[in-house]
Amino acid sequence: MKKDFKYVGKSTPRQDAFEKVTGQAKFTDDYYFPGMLHAVMVRTKSSHAKILNVDYTRLLASAENIIVCDHNDIIGSKKVGPIKKDQPIFCYDKIVTPGDVVCMLVGGDIQELLQSRELVDIDLEELPVLTEPLKALDIDSPIIHSENGNNLINHYPLRKGNVEKGFSESDHIIEQHYSTQLIEHAYLEPEAVIAIPLEGKKGIKILGSIQNPHTTRKVVASVLGLPLTKVRAVQAEIGGSFGGKDDTMNILAARAAVAALKTGKPVKIKFGREESIVESYKRHPYNLHYKVGFTKDGLLKAMKIDITADGGAYSSMSPFVTWRTVVQATGPYQVENVCTDVKAVYTNNPYTGAMRGFGSPQPIFAQESLMDEIADILGKSPLEIRELNGFKAGSITASGQKLVDHDINLITVLNEAAIKSEFDKKWQLHRKNKKIKNFQIEENNNFLLSHNEFVEPNETIQKGIGLAVSYRGCSLGAEGIDAAAAYMSVQQDGSVYLISGLAENGQGLKTTFSIIAAEVLGISPDHIQYLEQDTGIVPDSGPTVASRSTLMGGGAVKNAAEILKSRLKEIVLNFWNVKNTEEIIFTENEILLRGDETKRVSFQEICSLAYSKGVNLAVIGWYKGPNVHWDEETGQGSAYFTYVYGCQVAEVSVNVATGEVYIDKITAVHDAGKVINKLGALGQVYGGVTQGAGYALWEEISSFDGKIKEDNFDQYLIPTSRDIGEIEPHFIEGEDIYGAWGAKSLGEPTLELTAAAISNAIKNATGKRFFNLPINLEEVLLNRKLKPTDLKRGSTN
Amino acid sequence: MKSDIELNINGTAKKIFVEQSKRLLDVLRENFLLTGTKEGCSIGECGACTVVLDGEAVNSCLILIGQCGGSEIITIEGLEKDGKLHELQKQFIDKGAIQCGFCTPGMAMSAYALLLKNNNPGIEEIKEAIEGNLCRCTGYKPIIDAVHSAVKELNDS
Ligand code: FES
Ligand code: FES
């Protein structure tokens, strides 16, 4: 493997930073086209109802300039969805969640459009509302989608060994229930899209804040009944996504496209924050039940796991999200006997889909809490129990996959994190100090003081430390077709166009890919011009999800650059009249011949020579992951072709009088394979950990009868600059044969561990364990959440 | 009610005839095409719309243009001088303070307003100054580092 990198592994500032820091970068809402119209959504106040009639008489009588679009305007598919086609573009038979849209008003004056929504008369027959996922499969529960027959979206079983036998061989068995909450992506830029009808029969162009332009194209084409080539989806700058600008954006694009074709004018849809939170999908709340058997030495013998994910009103990505859960539910531990069942169900709650983490933060919270509990029972340290059971080279996963072909660095990241944070020493110390006078902390006991109790002022703040580890399958795994493309074209002056089929979502993909191409060609990354993401110029490469872009897209870029390099080498050979391509070196915008000082030519000169000789310097690079397989019935198979490993240590201060938790420090150690851009990688860790902390302590959408209360940032609290102390990232670069020099995934691992580590730290600080996220003030003090009994609180309701 | 309003934007005197109840944010974006200023929440919670109004960082989604007569406003487009980036901008780029970039203009303006008042703020003061600016991507650390480095650079030169 190549070791002396020129650009890879260094800190390279983002390619698009200049435009962004000067205010010139154009996000969707910054575009204006002549004659452009706006569109606003018409929703009902219902969570579950039959639509009896929609009457536009009053609207049409008073507002002449307004054009209505509803399901009658759709020629192609009226319902869409990545797996099951269950989500209508415009609802026509039923309302199944409050975000649902019946029709859209289109016109030039937004204020007029907003006011005119009242003039649409929608006649509904209310139906019983289902909000409790654990009741979704009860025989007497209302059915959300009658064509589905019941409320089951999917069920994944996994069977390995014999759990009953495993339990009988165990010295201890514990059973625990955990729950995690519904949360919002909270990308800073709300949804926005513009559909522009093209001249004549050219079709339509979509410009928007879209995560996966090729998916958007597919959805829009199916709704319009057009061939894929008649829909061009182009990405504007995207103000954050985190997995969130997929389904919702595809549907908004389709609505805008329908309106644009109907009116013959460009149509813009722009959501405000409230609308964004109400209609967009979220992260799945999970109910997790774990039964674990282990020996007196701490060896895991059996795990029985039952998980129910609330998919909300539409299936969206639930089947893929929960598939990752079933693969990773036991955590990075070798367990002989496993019986896991993961179900996703429909309810009338806001629908859930892809969000950074994608079915992993939930089981990690459960399984990492459990590992600490087991350690507690046996009087071991959190490190010992993990070292004993954690994956090593050759370990067998729950799905029967033998871990080989890459550095199985779980124990390495664990030990590195423990050393860097002085874990053992601090953990023992805080544990000893945790006795708080005047009230004895016990499980299920709350911290509320009664009249004659008080906490000694010096004992109000309790410190604690906790850790969590994880492994994560890279890319799509047996979930989908795993291949990616990159297009590269070298110009006669040596400058280079580059684009991959995977899309920039703000994470810094353009810079990462430019570094990879620059490294291969020995030119500076700023000689590479990354093109706008446009479905018209680059092949479909599957979605930009699952932290797969560096691995898959990076592999494709490297492939493209290598093809070009070999073509250029041929030119150089003839130019110098030498034989051995091995001796030709591309570096610092020059080409040299090893061992011959006189042979030196600029990259530019060779490119112009190639051009004059008619050599094709435009190529499509391709990267396809190795085959993986999965048996749906038994949950056995090689789920992913490679894995990454991480460990995070949280240090917290808990105010036992107020229930407030302050994060003093997070030490994050990740093996993401080769790091391509240090600056970008650090940014992924800081950002991911911060989102993980929000998930642990503050963020929650508490819907009431399916309706959302926290619909803006005054109620939905994401971390601010003052909420988190220090974050200390470390990278272990395990070697891997896949992708570009073994560069794998980082975006999601950084976020999935944090809540579990924080929860374990709170236990170390207070002696009390928490089973339900978020661990907010109410949870810490009362062991429960103060749920709203109506929607009156809040700024906008 | 529409009326004439005179104000100074990024160092240039401007006069517009506009509805007094129009939000400053919309006037900047629509009337002056200064689209660097962003809208993230519309209720004064996210800071994406931050501009500097008479030396103070304000949320332009909460200010009506009728309140701005005679004021001096600086937006993100006004930070670059004579084709040269402001030190804050340079440090934002170098320290990785930008990911999606949607919060960046507001963040930079809050930091700029801090520097107008305090030429040597410490880390805590920096954190406080950008507390009203939400960022979902960067975890704030690179932003705080960038402002801190800009302070050092400006004081050294
Ligand atoms: S848009 Fe003004 S503070 Fe969010
Ligand atoms: S960089 Fe994306 S919100 Fe701050």
Q: Which residues pair with A274 in a beta bridge?
A: none
Tell me: do B142 and B95 sit in the same domain: yes
Report how far residue A193's alpha carbon sits from residue A269's, in angstroms, rounded to the nearest whole number: 5
Q: Which of B45, B75, B103 sits opposite A23 (nearest CB)?
A: B75
What band does B157 get if pLDDT is binned at 50, 70 and 90?
confident
Tell me: do B102 and B67 sit in the same domain: no
Tell me: do A457 and A308 sit in the same domain: yes
Q: Please say if the pLDDT value at position A111 is more than 80.
A: yes
**Ligand 2 mean position to A501 CA, how many Å?**
23
Q: Which listed ligand is nearest to B40 at the C-alpha? A: 1
Percent of chain A at pLDDT > 90 equals 79
Q: What confidence score (pLDDT) does residue A737 get?
A: 85
Tell me: do A639 and A549 sit in the same domain: no
Q: Contacts of residue A13 in chain B, CB cutoff 8 Å?
A: 93-94, 96
**Ligand 1 mean position to B32 CA, how many Å?**
19
Q: Do B139 and A687 touch (CB under 8 A)?
A: yes
Closest alpha carbon within chain A to B37: A23
A173: in domain: no
Chain B nearest-CA distance from A25, in A, is 8
Tell me: do B69 and B125 sit in the same domain: no
Tell me: do A558 and A580 sit in the same domain: yes
Tell me: do A662 and A767 sit in the same domain: yes
Q: Which of B36, B98, B139 sits opposite A14 (nearest CB)?
A: B98
Among the candidates A624, A649, A666, a domain finishes at A624
φ, ψ of residue A505 in degrees (nearest 5): -120, 20
Is B123 a pocket residue for ligand 2 (Cβ < 6 Å)? Answer: no
What residues of chain B, 3 to 22, have a C-beta less than 8 Å from chain A?
A: none
Residue A481 neighbours by CB under 8 Å, 6+ apart:
A542
Specify the number of domains making up chain A: 3
What band does A525 get if pLDDT is binned at 50, 70 and 90?
very high
The string of DSSP letters for A567-616 reads: HHHHHHHHHHT---GGGEEEETTEEEETTEEEEEEEHHHHHHHHHHTT--
**Ligand 1 mean position to A201 CA, how many Å?**
41
Three-state secondary-structure class, residue B116: helix
Q: Which listed ligand is nearest to A690 at the C-alpha? A: 2
Question: What own/partner pairs with CB < 8 Å and gap ≥ 24 does A623-626 have?
Answer: A623/A483, A623/A484, A623/A485, A623/A552, A623/A553, A623/A554, A623/A555, A623/A556, A623/A558, A623/A559, A623/A739, A624/A482, A624/A483, A625/A475, A625/A476, A625/A482, A625/A483, A625/A551, A625/A552, A625/A738, A626/A738
Is B49 a pocket residue for ligand 1 (Cβ < 6 Å)? Answer: yes
Element (H, E) at A624: strand A618-624
What average pLDDT score do residues A683-690 get?
97
Q: What confidence score (pLDDT) does residue A536 get?
A: 87
Among the candidates B56, B78, B100, a domain finishes at B78
Give the domain range for residue B125.
Answer: 87-156
Tell me: do A568 and A639 sit in the same domain: no
Q: Cβ distance A646 to A668 under 8 Å?
A: yes
Tell me: do B19 and B40 sit in the same domain: yes
What band does A222 get if pLDDT is binned at 50, 70 and 90?
very high
Tell me: do B8 and B50 sit in the same domain: yes
A382: in domain: yes
For residue B110, give the amino acid letter. Answer: S
Among the candidates A270, A300, A325, a domain finishes at A270
Among the candidates B78, B97, B130, a domain finishes at B78
Q: Which listed ligand is nearest to B98 at the C-alpha? A: 2
Report how far residue B79's alpha carbon sits from residue B75's, in angstroms, rounded to the nearest whole number: 7
Report how far residue A450's alpha carbon sits from residue A373's, in angstroms, rounded to the nearest whole number: 29
Tell me: do A340 and A370 sit in the same domain: yes
Average pLDDT in chain B:
97
This complex has an ipTM of 0.98
Report how far residue A250's alpha carbon sits from residue A269's, in angstroms, rounded to the nearest whole number: 12
Q: Please say if the pLDDT value at position A280 is more than 60.
A: yes
Q: Cβ distance A689 to A666 under 8 Å?
A: yes
A-B contacts at Cβ under 8 angstroms? 167
Report how far residue A188's alpha carbon sits from residue B46's, in angstroms, rounded to the nearest whole number: 8
Indicate which CATH number applies to the domain containing B132. 1.10.150.120
Which residue do the tokens 């990688």 mark? A681
Q: Please say if the pLDDT value at position A791 is more than 90.
A: no
What band does A795 get if pLDDT is binned at 50, 70 and 90?
very low
Q: Which of A14, A23, A713 sits opposite B77 (nearest CB)?
A: A23
A4: in domain: no
Closest alpha carbon within chain B to A242: B137
Beta strand A528-530 with A496-500: parallel, antiparallel or unpaired?
parallel
Tell me: do A303 and A379 sit in the same domain: yes
Q: Which residues pair with A88 in a beta bridge?
A: A79
Tokens standing for A71?
Answer: 């399901």
Per-residue pLDDT tens over the stretch B120-152: 999 999 999 999 999 999 999 999 999 999 999
Tell me: do B97 and B146 sit in the same domain: yes
Q: Contacts of residue B36 in chain A, CB cutoff 8 Å?
A: 22-24
Q: Please say if the pLDDT value at position A439 is more than 70.
A: no
Percent of chain A at pLDDT > 70 equals 94
Q: Please say if the pLDDT value at position A527 is more than 60.
A: yes
Tell me: do B70 and B122 sit in the same domain: no
Picking from A158-162, A468-472, A671-675, which range would have the lowest pLDDT averaged per residue? A671-675
Indicate which CATH number applies to the domain containing B29. 3.10.20.30
Is B102 a pocket residue for ligand 2 (Cβ < 6 Å)? Answer: yes
A184: in domain: no
Report how far residue A362's alpha carbon sits from residue A772's, in angstroms, rounded to the nearest whole number: 10
Tell me: do A669 and A765 sit in the same domain: yes
A266: in domain: yes
H-helix segments, A125-173:
163-168
Picking from A198-202, B63-67, B89-93, which range would have the lowest pLDDT averaged per residue? A198-202
Give the domain range for residue A90.
Answer: 31-127+191-270
Q: Among A70, A76, A72, A143, which Cα is nearest to A100's?
A: A70
Average pLDDT in chain A:
92
Q: Cβ distance A744 to A472 under 8 Å?
A: no
Q: Please say if the pLDDT value at position A769 is more than 70.
A: yes
For residue A355, give the amino acid letter. Answer: M
Q: Among A779, A765, A773, which Cα is nearest to A372's?
A: A765
Q: Cβ distance A19 to B89 under 8 Å?
A: no
Tell me: do B53 and B107 sit in the same domain: no
Tell me: do A449 and A511 sit in the same domain: no
Tell me: do B64 and B108 sit in the same domain: no
Among the candidates B78, B98, B126, a domain finishes at B78
Tell me: do A405 and A510 sit in the same domain: no
Q: Contacts of residue A686 in chain B, CB cutoff 8 Å?
A: 138-142
What band does A152 get if pLDDT is binned at 50, 70 and 90?
very high
Q: What confidence score (pLDDT) does residue A723 get?
A: 94
What band does A580 get if pLDDT is binned at 50, 70 and 90?
confident
Indicate which CATH number applies to the domain containing A742. 3.30.365.10
Specify the number of domains making up chain B: 2
A119: in domain: yes
Indicate which CATH number applies to the domain containing A103. 3.90.1170.50
Q: Please say if the pLDDT value at position A768 is more than 80.
A: yes
The string of DSSP letters for A210-261 reads: -S-HHHHHHHHHHHHT--GGGEEEEE-B----TT-SSHHHHHHHHHHHHHHH
What average pLDDT score do residues A210-223 get?
96
- Torsion of Cα atoms, A681 then A686 then A690 then A692, to 10°: 40
Q: Provide the CA A532 distance to its chain's centre, in angstroms.
A: 22
Tokens standing for A693?
Answer: 């902390």
Q: What confidence score (pLDDT) does residue A446 get?
A: 55
Peptide bond into A626 cis (omega under 30): no
Tell me: do B10 and B55 sit in the same domain: yes
Among the candidates A624, A643, A663, a domain finishes at A624
Report how far residue A548's alpha carbon sits from residue A235's, in angstroms, rounded to the nearest whole number: 19
Angle subtended at Cα A768 by Cα A435 and Cα A358, rounded to the nearest 5 degrees = 145
A138: in domain: no
Tell me: do B66 and B114 sit in the same domain: no
Q: Do A27 and B38 touch (CB under 8 A)?
A: yes
Interface residue B89 vs chain A (CB under 8 A): yes
A185: in domain: no
Give the residue from B43, B100, B133 with the most A CB atoms within 10 Å of its CB, the best one to mutate. B100
Tell me: do B91 and B151 sit in the same domain: yes
Element (H, E) at A39: strand A37-43
Per-residue pLDDT tens over the stretch A653-679: 999 888 999 999 999 999 988 999 999
What band does A366 get if pLDDT is binned at 50, 70 and 90?
very high
Q: What confidence score (pLDDT) does residue A735 get?
A: 86
